Chains A and B, each alone.
Chain A
Amino acid sequence: MAITEKIPASGLIEKLPGGGVFLTTTENIFKWAKVSSLWPLTFGLACCAIEMIAAGASRFDIDRFGSGVFRASPRQCDVLILAGTVSVKMGNCIKRLYAQMPEPKYVIAMGNCAITGGIFCYDTYSVMKGTEELGIPVDVYIPGCPPRPESLFFGLMKLQEMIRKEKNAAR
C-alpha cells in the first residue's frame, strides 16, 4: 500500500515508510501550493486567445493544473498569459496591468506575436515587436502560431518546474 501510493509534489515531499508521516520543509509546502494554483488573467488579445479558451474547455482541461480559475481583475492573478499581437495602442495598457498584479507574478508569452512580433514584424507601423519591445520580464516563451493547447500546457509545466527550483519561495 505504501509503495504504490502516489507521493504528492514528488521530489519535494518525502513519505516515511509505514504511512502517515511526511517529511518536508515549509519552503516546499509553499512551492507546492504556488505551483498548483497559478491563476491566470483573462487577457486574450487575438487568435491565441481562442486556443487559450480551448485549453480551458473540456477536452484539454486546464483545471487539472489548478489554473482553471481565470480571474478578470489583475489584483487576483498570479500569471499573465500574453496571448496575441501587442499593438502600440495596447502597450500602455499591458504595462499598467502588469504593474497592478501583486507579487509573486509570472508572465507567459504565448504565440509568435507575443515573443517577437510573429508574422507582423515586417511592414507594420502599429505593432510592438513582442514582449522584447514592451519591456516586461517574461518567464516562459511558447512558440507557435497559434500554439496548440498541449504546448500551452507544456509551457505551464515548465513554469511550474521553474517555480519549484526557485531559491526563495516565501516571497
Chain B
Amino acid sequence: MQPDKIFSLLKLKFSQATQEGSCGAVVIPRERLLDVAKYLISSELSFDNLHCITAVDRQERIELVYIFFSLQARHNLTVKVYLTPDDLKVESLASFWKSADWFEREIYDLFGVTFRNHPNLRRILNPEDWKDHPLRKNFSRSDFIKKERY
C-alpha cells in the first residue's frame, strides 16, 4: 500500500493526524497513541512488526518516532508523537508489541521519557543508580570531555 493511502486511511479514523512535511511521517497527539496502535495492529494495515522506537531532542519539544513494518503487506509507516520537555509521559505500547519493551526502557534511560503501564521501566544501558539522561542536548557533566569541532 502506498504511503498516501495509509495516511488517508488513518486520517479518516483519527482526524487529528497530520503529516510532517519532509519525510512523510504521521504526527498524532499523545492521547490517541493507544487507539492508533490498536488500529494499526488489527486492521487490514496489519503492522505486525514494530521495528524501532527512538526519540529526537529538538530543544522545544521531544519527538518520539515509531517505525512500523508489515511483513504480510510489505509496507511501512513512521508515526511521531510530540512531547513538551516539562511533561514527558506517554502510554507504553508493550502490551501490543513485545519489541517495544526494551526500546522504551532505552528511551527512558537516555531521554527521561516515562512510559505509563510499562511492565518493567528501569534503566537498561546505564547503571541503575544514575541520575542523568545523557542524550538530551542540555546534558553536561564534569568528566564529559568534548572533542573540538573542525
Point out residues on A near B: beta carbons under 8 Å. Answer: 88-89, 121-126
Contacts and interface: CB of A to CB of B under 8 A. Distances in A.
Contacts of B144: 123-125
A123 B147 contact: yes
Contacts of A88: 126-127
What's the dominant secondary structure at chain A's contact region?
A: loop
A124 B145 CA distance: 7
A126 B147 CA distance: 16
B133 to A, nearest CB: 10
Contacts of A124: 144
18 contacts: A88-B126, A89-B126, A89-B127, A121-B145, A122-B145, A122-B146, A123-B144, A123-B145, A123-B146, A123-B147, A124-B144, A125-B139, A125-B141, A125-B143, A125-B144, A126-B125, A126-B126, A126-B134
A122 B147 CA distance: 6
B91 interface: no
A28 to B, nearest CB: 47
Given A123-B144, A125-B134, 6 more contacts: A88-B127, A89-B127, A122-B147, A124-B144, A125-B144, A126-B126
A77 B48 CA distance: 49
Nearest first, the 7 closest Cβ-Cβ pairs linking A and B are A122-B147, A125-B134, A89-B127, A122-B145, A125-B144, A123-B147, A123-B146
Contacts, number: 22
Interface of B: 125-127, 132, 134, 139, 141, 143-147
Contacts of B141: 125
A84 B127 CA distance: 19
Contacts of A122: 145-147
Contacts of A89: 126-127
A47 B141 CA distance: 28
A1 to B, nearest CB: 64
Contacts of B139: 125
A27 to B, nearest CB: 45
A88 B127 CA distance: 8
A74 to B, nearest CB: 22
Contacts of B126: 88-89, 126
Nearest to B126: A126
A124 B134 CA distance: 9
Contacts of A121: 145
Nearest to A89: B127
A123 B149 CA distance: 12
A116 B21 CA distance: 45
A51 to B, nearest CB: 25
A125 B140 CA distance: 9
B83 to A, nearest CB: 23
Contacts of A125: 132, 134, 139, 141, 143-144
Contacts of B147: 122-123
